[in-house]
Structure 1
Amino acid sequence: MKFLERLNPKQAYVVLLVISLLLAVLFLGLLPANVPMQWGMDGNVNYTFPKQVAVLLLPALSVYWTFRGWRRADLANLGWGLLCLVGISGIFTFISVMY
């Protein structure tokens, strides 16, 4: 836990933003033109978003959590930002493999 004690919160949020931007660029190349956003009980896609709109979700959520944590200069919101990043990246990875 000494690593967390020495970690500068603002640097950690900048790293979160950079990672989310890099992943957004990566997913722009991997995802289909229309990204499925909801599946019905029968397995059919109910609606889709254009991939540019769907991929914008990654940096937008990271920016939100960064601004929340930046004001306080603590790491409390970093976990939520990382959770969003991992969750959305996992979903996009699934979609890029399946479609």
Structure 2
Amino acid sequence: MSWPALLALAGGAYAFKVLGLVVFGGRELPIRLSRCIALLPAALLPALIAVQTLSTDDRWVIDARAVGVGAAILAAWRRAPFPVVIVVGAAVTAAVRALA
């Protein structure tokens, strides 16, 4: 990617944020909209994880990554400490790749 393109995209992102401040600057958002906005990060993170885990190029796949994430989810659900969750996910992914 070229520097002019990078600077143009960064400027566009900044302008988009400034536009939000100009439009909604001194006003309070409706309570229903505020509640919905507060839930967006909790919805976006799993969606991003699913896309990165279950897709390759332009298609959906179930491979070692999905099995590893499933094992990590199970470890987290069983309330394992975070480092254990990471190690379980990585170990299961490595084991499935070694067996495949």
Assess same fold via TM > 0.5.
no
Looking at CA atoms only, which structure, 1 or 2, has the larger radius of gyration?
Answer: 2
Q: Please, what TM-score do these two structures have when normalized by structure 2?
A: 0.30
Greater fraction strand: 1
Q: Please, what TM-score do these two structures have when normalized by structure 1?
A: 0.30
Greater fraction helix: 2
Larger RCO, structure (CA 8 Å, separation 6 or more): 1
